[in-house]
């Protein structure tokens, strides 16, 4: 390790006001030395390399560090110690390429960066082609608008149950985030339904248009949401309460039949018509409401037939 100490002394004692060529040459030599013995170093020796790389990188000007980082980010056999030093650089121009691309960084390194560094660093991490749930949880918790949008848009990012819940809460004030979440193929149905409850109708339409594969699920989820809303409105309606009492009385006295359906329909009594058909056809009231309100008469004819109407 004598050569390492010699190179480190050369860097620390050099005149850095004129040029960085000496530092860069030393860094290249140390990197080559590290690679030559990779896998055979002790923990103390690796720590020494960490310190050397850190000392070298600190004295190299920003432009050169950024160029080095872009090169290192593409290398699968770059020294992990050097990659870590670049990843934790305060300058995003240096850390960004490594955080977003390098496969040398461990999950622990990435998680540590996500917990402690700037929004720029978090955004770089959110660009990685593969992200585990533990890291996306941190990004969603700490990240501002740009970061969480990047996570939601990243198809290679795995999002936990907790992560989806937090993203959807934030989507209420961010239509673009809502669109990214709704377009994910891995979004659980219950979160999808919740998302459609809080975003605008315009965003709902964009979600369906953006991904034809979720259009069926979107329509089903929209239907479910509408049913929940209608159920609340229906239960609060005095007209519905009165109609329910009347129809139940007719059913009790065995007077509920086709004639009562016709009479309610001719009188434009929506509530009583729907309730009567629902009971006679033995199907959910939501199904009857949608059938009656459709312009195409086919659906209500089917309900009517199930209700025993001619």
Q: Percentage of the chain surpassing pLDDT 70?
A: 73
What's the CA gap between 145 and 154, in Å, rounded? 14
Handedness of CA 125, 129, 133, 134 (dihedral sign): negative
Each residue of 182-214: pLDDT tens digit?
889 898 877 887 787 788 777 777 776 766 555
Per-domain residue ranges of the chain: 1-88, 238-310
Whole-structure pTM value: 0.62
- pLDDT higher at 292 or 1: 292
- pLDDT tens profile 229-283: 567 667 778 888 898 899 888 887 888 899 989 999 899 888 899 899 999 999 8
In whole angstroms, give the CA distance from residue 188 to residue 208: 16
- Give the C-alpha separation, 308 to 310, whole Å: 7
């Amino acid at each position: 390790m004598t050569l390492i100490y010699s190179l480190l002394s050369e860097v620390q004692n050099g005149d850095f006001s004129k040029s960085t060529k000496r530092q860069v040459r030393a860094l290249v030599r140390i990197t080559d030395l590290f690679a030559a013995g990779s896998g055979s170093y002790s923990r103390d020796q690796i720590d020494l390399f960490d310190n050397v790389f850190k000392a070298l990188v600190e004295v190299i000007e920003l432009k050169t560090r950024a160029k080095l980082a872009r090169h290192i980010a593409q290398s699968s056999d770059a020294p992990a110690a050097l990659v870590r030093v670049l990843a934790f650089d305060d300058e995003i121009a240096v850390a960004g390429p490594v955080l977003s691309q390098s496969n040398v960084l461990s999950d622990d390194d990435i998680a540590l960066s996500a917990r402690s560094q700037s929004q720029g660093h978090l955004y770089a991490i959110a660009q990685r082609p593969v992200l585990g749930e533990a890291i996306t949880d941190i990004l969603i918790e700490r990240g501002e608008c740009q970061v969480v949008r990047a996570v939601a848009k990243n198809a290679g990012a795995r999002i936990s149950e907790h992560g989806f819940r937090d993203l959807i809460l934030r989507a209420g004030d961010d239509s673009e985030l809502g669109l990214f979440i709704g377009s994910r193929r891995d979004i659980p149905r219950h979160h999808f339904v919740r998302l459609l409850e809080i975003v605008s109708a315009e965003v709902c339409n964009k979600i369906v248009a953006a991904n034809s594969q979720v259009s069926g699920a979107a329509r089903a989820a929209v239907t479910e949401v509408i049913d929940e809303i209608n159920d609340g409105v229906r239960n609060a309606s005095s007209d519905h309460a009165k109609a329910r009492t009347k129809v139940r009385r007719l059913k009790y006295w065995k007077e509920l039949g086709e004639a009562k359906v016709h009479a309610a329909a001719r009188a434009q009594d929506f509530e009583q018509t729907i309730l009567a058909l629902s009971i006679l056809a033995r199907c959910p009231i939501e199904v009857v409401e949608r059938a009656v309100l459709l312009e195409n008469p086919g659906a209500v004819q089917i309900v009517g037939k199930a209700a025993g109407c001619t």
